[in-house]
Structure 1
């Protein structure tokens, strides 16, 4: 938990003690200036905590009369599951409006847990680290995600404004079959009656949304996740990269995860692994191949070979410099 979040919670703890607290007193107890105290009060208001501001010479802040945060009865395992779920969702890029929503939810949860359990979870959040990097992604609007979920559940058609991968805007009527989270993004899959096909849409590209009247019936045995993966596999990327890499699948996956590359496991009589990458640009691939530090063969495209050779020349030139030439 960040220092500012901890101090916001400390401010709430002080206010829950009752009475009117002056800004200078709060600043002294929190170890911050008065302007920061006012900012922290703003954070509490954003979290839905009713803080009253009393003006005047002897004014300050107090909680609204009768307000008390209710206790949350969770076992240690349940609390750990919720906190780690929030953290994992944020790191996987599956938040909605921003990471601040996940952080504020975590702060609310910790605030209403028993003190002993809260200290243990704080210790975990302060000391835990992750080998996987946080995954940045363009998150959809919360209202868009929730409205589409309701429309899919109740089988209501929707009209969306949509910007495709080439920047073209259009209005679509869609029969939403399901929502899928994949590789840090949310996708909608459903039928497009105008073309009579199943389509997949990235939610962060939805610009407008209107739920329409009427209803529809979704096909039985329809698999939204499989449909999204199949649609992504068929996307006409600029470059279709085919490689053979000599090395273990686990080592290759550390540098080329499933959302980036398709890996074909080797036969028993060979240790060469087939790798296929669909990409808009090639310039990032040579550095990944260098990081792999394994023999590889570029089957296609030829332009990637030129980029790898250029990187090798630059590395060789850098390695040729000694301390005297700097």
Structure 2
């Protein structure tokens, strides 16, 4: 959806709330000039929406008395795409404020669909099941997410209050480069204007937000998603694991994705890859190394070598036990 289309729909939403709206008020609400407001009203009239124009010092626009939006006309495929999108967002933990927001949006959508199509979608929602479990996560406030999105789009610095993973509170100024949804959480990737260092922030830890004046440029080829994944992989944890694995980066990434490990591509002439993992526990790593089925060296910690040996002994015992 283009920005202008979104604002035309926003104008309709404002007018549907009732009352007479002045042109300056609409311009301020939509973030456009008064001439653009009049153009948007023209678009609504072209679509058959009866917008009355009231002239005079206190004039403006309002919807014709008694006007109601017609039922939402979507094809079966379009309606299915919207409903499944809402459902997927809820299960992925990406709905904002609460799961109730996604449920109420789905209910409103179903109410304005034609009855026959509504019955078919109700049947799908009642009978469909998923192999993946719903992901629980703490969602950010809706206003925080949307205001940061606008700031990132228009290249505006923001001042935020932030609580880090250790509970420490701070006030920061950030140049918002991009927003990333990952593993049921929203992240902001942005730079500190003082030193240019790029940092990652969890949006549910943002306690205050204010858009500041000024502008900035995002570095060429900057990839917010890759930056967030790299930052998460480098987050300090209880164990700093260092491995050398003989194999291709593609094969290793199939078992150790970017959110879990950093992989340094091998120098020319060698097929050994350097892998770093930050982990709270070590017990899950030996089974992954076994699944890789490639030669490896545990550089640190020593405790991981003991766990690998223990797994090898168990597997050997299972393989030689003929009593089962």
How big is the shift at 1:182?
A: 1.5
SS at the partner of 2:322? Answer: helix
* Cα distance in 2, alignment partners of residues 73 and 153 from structure 1: 31
Change in 2 beyond 3 A, CA 1:199/1:59: closer
The offset of 1:237, in angstroms, is 2.4
The offset of 1:72, in angstroms, is: 0.6
After TM superposition, the structure 1 = structure 2 runs for residues 149-160 of structure 1, keeping only pairs within 5 Å, are: 149-160=149-160
Bigger Cα displacement from structure 2, 222-231 vs 162-171: 222-231
Distance 1:254 1:131 in 2: 20
Quote the offset at 1:249 in angstroms. 12
Please tell me whether the aligned partners of residues 47 and 104 of structure 1 are also in contact (alpha carbons under 8 angstroms): no
TM-score by length of structure 1 reads 0.61
Distance apart, 1:284 and its partner CA: 6.7
The Cα of 1:207 is off from its aligned counterpart by 1.0
Taking structure 1 as reference, are residues 86 and 219 closer, same or farther at Cα in structure 2, changes over 3 Å only? same
Shifted more, 5-14 versus 204-213: the winner is: 5-14
Unaligned runs of 5+ in 2: none
How much does 1:280 deviate? Answer: 2.5
Residues of 2 paired with 1:325 and 1:30: CA distance? 75
- Structure-2 change in CA distance of 1:62 and 1:182 (3 Å): same
Per-residue displacement from partner, 1:229-286 (whole Å, max 9, x unpaired)?
2222332222234689999999999997764467999999999999864223446768
Q: Structure 1 pair 257/70, CA: closer, same or farther in 2 (3 Å)?
A: farther
Question: Residues 78, 303 of structure 1: CA spacing in aligned structure 2 closer, same or farther, 3 A cutoff?
Answer: same
> Alpha-carbon deviation of 1:192?
0.3
- Greater shift in the superposed pair: 267-276 or 24-33: 24-33
User: 1:52–1:63: 8 Å Cα contact kept in structure 2?
Assistant: yes
Q: Do the aligned partners of residues 52 and 115 (structure 1) sit closer, same or farther apart at CA in structure 2, a change above 3 Å counting?
A: farther
Q: Is the 8 A contact 1:261 1:276 kept in 2?
A: yes
Residue 143 of structure 1 and its aligned partner are, at CA, apart by: 0.6
Task: Return closer, same or farther for 1:295/1:209 CA change in 2, 3 Å cut-off.
Answer: same
> Hey, what's the Cα distance between the residues in 1 that align with 2:33 and 2:219?
61
Unaligned runs of 5+ in 1: none
How far is 1:162 from its partner? Answer: 1.0
- CA shift, 1:222, in A, is 2.2
8 Å contact from structure 1 (residues 9, 107) kept in 2: no
Distance 1:33-1:155 versus aligned 2 partners, 3 A rule: closer
Deviation readout 1:131-157 (Å, 9 max, x if unpaired): 111111121111100010111111111
In structure 1, distance between residues paired with 2:127 and 2:88: 15
Q: Which residue of 2 aligns with 1:263?
A: 263
Query: Could you tell me whether the CA contact under 8 Å between 2:229 and 2:259 is conserved in 1?
Result: no
Cα deviation for residue 318 of structure 1 reads 16
d(CA) in 2 for partners of 1:29, 1:221:
34
Contact 1:9 1:111 in 2 (8 A): no
Q: Is the 8 A contact 2:157 2:216 kept in 1?
A: yes
Q: Supply the distance in 2 between the matched residues of 1:118 and 1:61 (Cα, whole angstroms).
A: 34
Deviation at 1:221, TM superposition (A): 2.8
Q: Is the 8 A contact 1:69 1:112 kept in 2?
A: no
2:275 is the counterpart of 1:275:
yes
CA contact 1:53–1:62 (8 Å) conserved in 2: yes
Deviates more, 1:31-40 or 1:202-211: 31-40
Per-residue CA shift, 1:29-81, capped at 9, x if unaligned?
99999999999999999999999999999999999996966411111111111
**1:213, CA displacement in angstroms?**
1.7
- Alignment deviations for residues 201-229 of structure 1 (CA, whole Å, 9 cap, x no partner): 11111111111122223223322222222
Q: 1:210 to 1:21 in 2, by over 3 A?
A: closer
State the aligned residue count. 324
Cα distance between partner residues in 2 of 1:257 and 1:44: 48
User: Following the alignment from structure 1 to structure 2, what is the Cα–Cα distance between the partners of residues 311 and 44?
Assistant: 68
Q: Is the 8 A contact 2:234 2:262 kept in 1?
A: no
Alpha-carbon offset, residue 325 of structure 1: 21
